[in-house]
Amino acid sequence: MAGNINLHAANKAKKDEFYTQLVDIENELRHYKAHFKGKTVLCNCDDPRVSNFFHYFSYNFEQLGLKKLITTCYKNQNRDLELLKEADIVVTNPPFSLFREYVAQLMEYEKKFVIIGNQNAITNKDFFPLIRDNKIWLGYGFKGGAGHFFSKYEDVATASDHREGMIRVSGVNWFTNLEIQKRHEDLILFKTYNAADYPKYDNYDAINIDKTTDIPMDYDGFMGVPITFMDKYNPEQFEILGICAGNSRLNKFYGIVPYTPHIEDRGGCAVLNNKRVYSRILIRRRKTNPKPVPYEIGELPVLMAAEGTD
C-alpha cells in the first residue's frame, strides 16, 4: 500500500501482527460470492505463505469464478499501487494502526472491498462521514463482536475465552462497500416512546438510547444510539445525521441536529444530566418507513386461529 514509509517501525510498535482464521473468512465471504465472478481480487496485507485470505481464494478460485488472485505483502510501494489499480475487489485484514490511511487509499482508487477493522474507527473524523453517507457499511461480523486471531501477543482473554496461540480482539468487524442482503433487513423494534424512559440530552435535541434494541418504534425526532447500532443499520429504515463524540463539534458531525455546547461535552460528546455519555450516533426514522402498529398480545391467537381455518 502507498504511504508505507516508516511503517515497518510503526507496525512493530502497534502490534499489527495477528492473522485471520479461515473459518472467519469463510463465514463472512459466503455472503458475497456473487460479487467475485470474473473479478480480480487483491489481498494486499497478506503473505501467501501464512495468509488464510490467500488460502480461501486459492481453494475457491474456480467455484467463485475468479479472474485473478493477487496476494502481496508490503515490499514495493510503486508496484503495490499498480496492483491496486488492477484489482476489482480488495479483501484483507489490514494493520489496524493504519486503518484510516488504508481506507482512504481504497476510496481514492474507487475500489470495492471487504476488510476487517475495529468498530472504534466509526467515530474517526475521516471515517465517520463515509459511514454516514452510505459509502461504507458493516458486514456480517464476528460472533459476539470479538474475533480470535493467530498471534504471538499476550492474550488477555478470560480462561473460557482463551484459545492457545491466539489473541482475542473485541470490537472487530468487517467493513465493506459491496452490496449485502443484511443492510436491507429491518431492525425489529418493539418498544414505544415515553419521555421518562427516553430523556433528551442536555446539549443535543435528541433522546438517549443505551441499547439498539430499545429504539422506540414510534419516535420521529432525533435519537442518539450506541456505535453498535451500525451492525443493524438499514439505510431504508433510518438515516444517520451525525455523531456525538469528542470531535464532533470540530467536524460538525452533529450536522442538522440542534446542538448547544455544554461545559462537560469535550467538543461534542452527548451530555445527559450533566454527565457525558459514550459516543452516540444520531439517527432518525425514515419518513417513508411506515409507523409499525403495535398489536395487543391478546390479538395474536386470533390471527393464528384465522390462519388455521384455511
Ligand X SMILES: C[S@@+](CC[C@H](N)C(=O)[O-])C[C@H]1O[C@@H](n2cnc3c(N)ncnc32)[C@H](O)[C@@H]1O
Nearest distance, CB of residue 139 and ligand X, angstroms = 14
Closer residue to ligand X in complex, CB, 113/201: 113
Beta strands in the chain (DSSP E): 40-43, 68-71, 89-92, 112-118, 137-138, 146-150, 166-170, 172-176, 206-208, 222-226, 238-244, 271-272, 275-276, 280-285
Nearest distance, CB of residue 130 and ligand X, angstroms = 20
Q: Is 16 in the site for ligand X (CB under 6 A)?
A: yes
Q: Is 74 in the site for ligand X (CB under 6 A)?
A: yes
Looking at the DSSP bridge assignments, the partners of residue 121 are none
Q: Is 177 in the site for ligand X (CB under 6 A)?
A: no
Task: Give, rounded to a whole angstrom, the gap between the first and last alpha carbons of the chain.
Answer: 62
What is the rounded CA–CA span in Å between residue 98 and residue 105? 11
Closer residue to ligand X in complex, CB, 71/203: 71
Residues 107-146, interacting with ligand X (CB under 6 A): none
What is the rounded CA–CA span in Å between residue 203 and residue 13? 39
Among residues 41, 57, 93, 115, the one that binds ligand X under rule CB under 6 A? 93
Closer residue to ligand X in complex, CB, 126/236: 126
Q: Is 264 in the site for ligand X (CB under 6 A)?
A: no
Angle at 17 between CA 122 and CA 230, to 5 degrees: 20
Angle at 133 between CA 132 and CA 135, to 5 degrees: 110
Nearest distance, CB of residue 116 and ligand X, angstroms = 7
Nearest distance, CB of residue 47 and ligand X, angstroms = 7
Side-chain-side CA neighbours of 231 within 13 Å: the count stands at 19
Nearest distance, CB of residue 158 and ligand X, angstroms = 23
Q: Is 92 in the site for ligand X (CB under 6 A)?
A: yes
Q: Give the contact letters, 20-39, x = binds to ligand X (CB under 6 A), - = no.
A: x-------------------
Tell me how far CA of residue 129 lies from CA of 33, 57, 139, 200, in angstroms: 28, 31, 17, 24
Which phi and psi (to 5°) does residue 145 adopt?
A: 70, 15
Q: Is 105 in the site for ligand X (CB under 6 A)?
A: no
Q: Is 171 in the site for ligand X (CB under 6 A)?
A: no
Q: Applying CB under 6 A, which residues contact ligand X?
A: 1, 4, 7, 11, 16-20, 44-46, 51-53, 73-74, 92-95, 98
